Structure 1
Amino acid sequence: MSTEIDDVPQQEVLIVTGMSGAGRSTVANALEDLDWYVVDNLPPQMLRPLVDLAERAEGALPKIAVIVDVRGRDFFGDLQAMIQSLREGTKLRVIFLDASDAVLVRRFEAVRRPHPLQGGGTTLDGIATERARLATIRESSDIVIDTTDLNVHQLSTKIRDYFAAEGTPGVQLSVMSFGFKYGLPPDADMVADARFIPNPFWIPELRPFTGQDSAVSEYVFSQPGVEEFVASYLNVLGPVLAGYQRENKRHAMLAIGCTGGKHRSVAIATKIAAALAEFPGVAVSLSHRDLGRE
């Protein structure tokens, strides 16, 4: 017999650890984009209370990612024991990030920061000490990723491949209509201009309506070149959105403008948004910024 507790998602815990400079911040950002609740630099002793809290939240935090590393100082020594404890009764995975010594040295030099374990020695001394401390954890990790030859985009893609839920969109695309006379949307990534279409504003029987009304929409799409414009623009957007996914650009805005943001841009944006919703890996939201301003 089904109960309410059967509907609570199983608690997932991901521990992200590994070499300093191997890409933990990039992984944390990628996981947050995938709706994981990310906690950075948590002492291992706090893992059990955090998991217990999440379980009492009855599904409010179904996916927790915890960044644990040598910044925890003396606390870090308890990580291996805590991992073994959490594996009993929890869906736990450990991801270990690594890179070659030479690449780690270059990364520390690029940010002009010392290795957290180098003390009065060199960066290589700190790396060697850290490798020794992490050897056991690396061997017992579920996933080991060598980031030596990966840039931040490639690492984010790899994390997405591992941890994105089935059906998770690659790009969250906002389609917005607007009126040029009220200014360009400052956060638009792409802008299309619908002012080449005859303006329904100058047709008395259409003026009171908007691009959401069928009479205006039919008028707009009956004009020469409009259907071709939309089809051509969708063809252009296909490789752009695919490229956004490859480069891990997860949020984008397409702004479509006419003079006042009431008729033409609204009709075009509505049509384009509906078509884009069929693109693989794209989740579309539609808004009309200036509708109702005139």
Structure 2
Amino acid sequence: MTVAAPLDLAIITGLSGAGRSTAAKCLEDLGWFVVDNLPPALLATMTELGLRSQGAVNRIAVVVDVRGRAFFSDLRATLDTLKARGMQPRVLFLEAADETLVRRFDHVRRPHPLQGEGRVVDGISRERALLAELRGESDLVLDTTDLNVHELRAKIDTAFGQPGGNRLNATVVSFGYKYGLPLDADLVADCRFLPNPHWVAALQPFTGRDPDVRDYVLAQPGAMEFINQYAVLLRLVGEGYVREGKRYLTLAIGCTGGRHRSVAMAEQLASRLAGDGVGVRVVHRDLGRE
């Protein structure tokens, strides 16, 4: 008896103008078989064809969006059916801020698919409401507001460059509260309870990557206790994510400017996660902005 080759299935969805086409091209470059605008009702058929290909097609990515209109409501039922068959489809959800989406639609001079007789912003609002529940259940949410094409490709490559396993992959993002919260963060931690090296003249010019700043931050009362206890919490959360079939976690840790405390703490936390077997990527979002 011939055993069907294992199959990876990715669903690319999210807001119009947020980068679904770019994500699809990235996956295609990574060797995925990509289908654009496939009605959800045909997902099971596409999966079956992939399983019958005897390994010729073992990674399929499908773009599902509101162009499907009547078909879109069937997506959840189709995903449940696939999971009941032992598949673990990964759902990638792309989004961006309203102002960014409006600017992108203005640039290409095309209407939003849901704006009707209204404005682009009306279509964005309708689509955001329609997809809210799906966003909450997605495996990976990427906010492309501040990403260029190369940065988005790097994130896609990190998430989908290798056939998926059961290991949790985490992106640890340091940030400054003065610049706003990272919109795609699953968890946010605040390290402003620690003394700010900005007010230490010998440390102010440096960053949390420099040994003197790092040692100063980690030596403060509560710093290592925070790391130790938060690592325990993340281990618990990570195990739950894996059990639920979610493989991606974006963890943000912030201080005032995103230069000293959050950078040092993010590096330390990433090291701890890596030691627990988590695939880790570190991003210092606001480093260099001051």
Provide the aligned C-alpha RMSD in A. 1.3
Q: Distance in 2 between matches of 1:61 and 1:112?
A: 37
Q: Distance in 1 between matches of 2:89 and 2:38?
A: 16
Once the two structures are superposed, the pairs formed by residues 131-142 of structure 1 within 5 Å of their partners are 131-142=128-139
Structure 1, unaligned stretches of length 5 or more? 167-294
Residues 5, 51 of structure 2: 8 Å contact kept: no
Residues 10, 91 of structure 1: 8 Å contact kept: no
Once the two structures are superposed, the pairs formed by residues 1-294 of structure 1 within 5 Å of their partners are 5=3, 9-88=5-84, 89-165=86-162
- How many pairs does the alignment contain? 162
Q: Distance in 2 between matches of 1:142 and 1:9?
A: 23
Residues 13, 94 of structure 2: 8 Å contact kept: yes
Q: CA deviation at 1:4?
A: 5.3
Q: CA deviation at 1:162?
A: 0.8
User: Which of 1 and 2 has greater Rg?
Assistant: 1
TM-score by length of 2: 0.54
Match in the other structure for 2:247: none
Further displaced range: 9-18 or 83-92: 83-92
Residues 38, 64 of structure 1: 8 Å contact kept: yes
Q: CA deviation at 1:92?
A: 1.0
Q: CA deviation at 1:91?
A: 2.7
The SS at the match of 1:87 is helix
Q: CA deviation at 1:100?
A: 0.5
Structure 2, unaligned stretches of length 5 or more? 164-290
Q: Distance in 2 between matches of 1:107 and 1:26?
A: 13
Q: Distance in 1 between matches of 2:128 and 2:59?
A: 28
Match in the other structure for 1:173: none
Residues 101, 127 of structure 1: 8 Å contact kept: yes
Q: Distance in 1 between matches of 2:146 and 2:82?
A: 32
Further displaced range: 72-81 or 94-103: 72-81
Q: Distance in 1 between matches of 2:82 and 2:133?
A: 17
- Residue by residue, what CA displacement relative to the aligned partner does 1:107-159 show, whole Å, maximum 9, x if unpaired? 00010000000000000100010011101110110000000100111101110
Q: Distance in 2 between matches of 1:44 and 1:146?
A: 24
Match in the other structure for 1:232: none
TM-score by length of 1: 0.53
Further displaced range: 53-62 or 36-45: 53-62
Percent identity for Structure 1 against Structure 2: 55
